[in-house]
Amino acid sequence: MADTSGRWLYAIARELDTDALTGLRGVAGAPVHVVEDAGLVAVVSAVDLAEFGAEPLKRNLEDLDWLAATARAHDAVVTTVGGAAPAAVPLRLATVCLGDDRVRELLIRRRPDLESALALLTGRTEWGVKAYADPDALAAADAPAEPGGQGGQGSKGGAGTAYLLRRKAQLSAREKAERNASAHADRLHRELAALATAARRHPPQDPKLSGRKGWNVLNGAYLVDDAKADELAAAVERLGGEVEGVRLELTGPWPAYSFAGVEQGAEEAAR
């Protein structure tokens, strides 16, 4: 059976309380098990290579329902592992090995990277902070008072000219609002990063994907000492009230997805 199935990797931990994994199921509903080598514990589950091999996986990733179910199953296991160990390094989605032995080889080969990642993550938690700017509110707050309002008094230059002038003013107010929002986002990130051990900005989310109104001007991730978590929450509260038209949202606690890949360069160097 081990010959026809792969191993999906969820997370790597140390001092894992394996009792917490009892009955836990991962992607495709398969029960999870651990692969250990000299203190490092990888949490994995068997997956059918007909569904999770390189080629089928590529196709399946384009299926939103499949992707959603898989991502949630992956995250549920990673979260449980994180709760049962001092620290857990989450794996990038869709890391599959051909068997437990190959998993063990990875643990041996990447031990220094994994050890330093675990050291970085111990006692710290990832939080997300997103800032949304409402373009209309920002532009309105910034726009010069509009003479003529509805354009009813535009008789001098003609209604058409008045419309064009108004439109031009709106556009430049919008551009200015965009610049201001982006500068504000940079400042927010700096202030939040000052509270964090490590900080990272993800690309802004497409409103079509998030279903949220407004520009996502900041999509930040912050690795924060657990003792400082309240301070971060307070900062988000305070900064969120600072500028009219910019709203902040705190997400988390997250498994430290955004800070587990710090040693990516080492992989290439080793090859």
Of 271, 260, 225, 269, nearest in space to 13 by CA: 260
DSSP H/E element including 234:
helix 229-240
Q: How far is the CB of 39 from other proteins (least distance, A)?
A: 17
Q: How far is the CB of 242 from other proteins (least distance, A)?
A: 23
Of the two residues 21 and 188, which places its CB atom closer to other proteins in the complex?
21
Of the two residues 81 and 177, which places its CB atom closer to other proteins in the complex?
81
Of the two residues 80 and 125, which places its CB atom closer to other proteins in the complex?
80
* CA distances to 26, 71, 132, 148 from 206, in Å: 29, 19, 11, 36
DSSP-based three-state secondary structure for 260: coil
**Beta-bridge partners for 8:** 45, 96
Contact between 46 and 30 under an 8 Å Cβ cutoff? The reply is yes
Of the two residues 102 and 166, which places its CB atom closer to other proteins in the complex?
102
What are the structure tokens assigned to 112, written together? 């220094």
Residues that bind other proteins (CB under 8 A): 6-7, 9, 12, 20-25, 52-54, 57-58, 61-62, 64, 67-68, 71-72, 74-77, 79-80, 83, 89-98, 102, 106, 110, 113-114, 117, 128, 202-203, 205-206, 208-210, 219, 221, 251, 254-255, 257-261, 263-264, 267
Identity (one letter) of the amino acid at 100?
Answer: D
Q: How far is the CB of 253 from other proteins (least distance, A)?
A: 9
Omega before 253 within 30 of 0, i.e. cis: yes
Of the two residues 12 and 41, which places its CB atom closer to other proteins in the complex?
12
Edge-to-edge, what's the strand order for the sheet holding 124-133? 198-201, 215-225, 124-133, 246-254
Contact between 13 and 89 under an 8 Å Cβ cutoff? The reply is yes
Q: How far is the CB of 150 from other proteins (least distance, A)?
A: 27
Of the two residues 144 and 268, which places its CB atom closer to other proteins in the complex?
268
Contact between 14 and 40 under an 8 Å Cβ cutoff? The reply is yes
Question: What are phi and psi for residue 43, nearest 5 degrees?
Answer: -100, 125
